[in-house]
Amino acid sequence: MNFLFKSISNFQFPYTLDQSPVLSTPLWEATNGTKKADSTPVTVFTYCKQKDNAIIDALTSNAVHNAKILKLPGLVRVLDVIDSDPANIYVVTERVHPLDVEGLSIDALSLGVFQISETLNLLHGQAKVILGTLCPGTIFTNKRGEWCLFGLELCSKMADPNHLNQYSASYSELVKGSGLDIEPSAAAQVDSILLARLIKQFYQRVPSEWNTLVSGLSQGRITIPQFCTRVESTKPFNSTLISIYEELKELQIKDPQGKVVVMSDLQRQILEDASVLKNATKGFVDGLLIPEFAQCISTIISTQKTQPMSTGFASIVPFVATIFELTCTKNPISDDESTFNKYVKPLIFENFKISDRQLRFLLLVYFPSYIPRLTNNDVVERIFPPFVQGLADTDSTIRIQTLKRVPDIISMITERQLNNDLLRHLAKTQMDPNEDIRTWTILVISKLSKKLSQSSNRSGILSTAFTKSLKDPAVKPRLAALYGLEDSLDLFDVQTIANKVLTVIGPGLLDKNAQVRSKARSLFKVYLSKLENEADQIPTDHAEDVELNFQADIADDNDDLAKGFLENLRISPQPLSITPTDGNTTQNIENTADSWNDSVIDEWDAEDDWSNNSEEPSKGNAPLVTKMNSTKSKVVQSISGNKRSNTKTAFGKTLTTKVKVNKSWNDDLNDDEWDDSWAEANDTKTSSKVNAGKMKKSNTESFSSASIKKPSTTNDVFEQLADEIEEDDWGNDW
* pLDDT at 557 (0 to 100): 58
Q: Are strands 41-48 and 23-24 parallel, antiparallel or unpaired?
A: unpaired
User: Residue 130: phi, psi to the nearest 5?
Assistant: -110, 135
Q: Contact at 8 Å (CB) between 90 and 44?
A: yes
Instruction: Return d(Cα 239, Cα 108) in angstroms, integer.
Output: 9
3-state secondary structure 113-154: HHHHHHHHHHHHHHHCEECCCCCHHHEEECCCCCEEECCCCC
* pLDDT at 204 (0 to 100): 85
Least confident of 282-296, 369-383, 594-608: 594-608
pLDDT in tens, 437-491: 999 999 999 988 888 876 667 888 888 888 889 889 999 999 999 999 988 888 8
Q: Contact at 8 Å (CB) between 611 and 625?
A: no
pLDDT bracket for residue 634 (50, 70, 90): very low
pLDDT bracket for residue 593 (50, 70, 90): very low
SS3 assignment, position 452: coil
pLDDT in tens, 118-164: 999 999 999 999 999 999 999 999 999 999 999 999 999 998 889 99
Instruction: Return d(Cα 232, Cα 215) in angstroms, integer.
Output: 17
pLDDT in tens, 425-452: 999 999 999 999 999 999 999 988 888 8
Q: Contact at 8 Å (CB) between 186 and 132?
A: no
Least confident of 9-13, 91-95, 223-227, 543-547: 9-13
Domains of the chain listed by start with CATH number: 2-94 (3.30.200.20), 105-241 (1.10.510.10), 242-373 (1.25.10.10), 579-605+625-653+701-733 (no CATH)
- Structure-derived torsion over alpha carbons of residues 497, 499, 505, 510, reported in degrees to the nearest 10: 150
Instruction: Return d(Cα 324, Cα 348) in angstroms, integer.
Output: 10
Tell me whether residue 459 is exposed, middle or buried, using C-beta atoms within 10 angstroms of its C-beta: 0 to 12, 13 to 18, 19 or more: buried
* pLDDT at 661 (0 to 100): 52
- Percentage of residues of the chain with pLDDT beyond 90: 46
Q: Are strands 28-35 and 78-82 parallel, antiparallel or unpaired?
A: unpaired
Q: Which residue has the higher pLDDT, 640 or 279?
A: 279
* pLDDT at 543 (0 to 100): 64
pLDDT bracket for residue 707 (50, 70, 90): very low
pLDDT in tens, 171-230: 999 998 888 888 877 777 899 999 999 999 999 889 999 999 999 999 888 999 999 999
* pLDDT at 304 (0 to 100): 80
pLDDT bracket for residue 311 (50, 70, 90): low
pLDDT bracket for residue 273 (50, 70, 90): confident
* pLDDT at 308 (0 to 100): 66
Q: Are strands 587-588 and 147-149 parallel, antiparallel or unpaired?
A: unpaired
pLDDT in tens, 52-77: 889 999 999 999 999 999 999 999 99
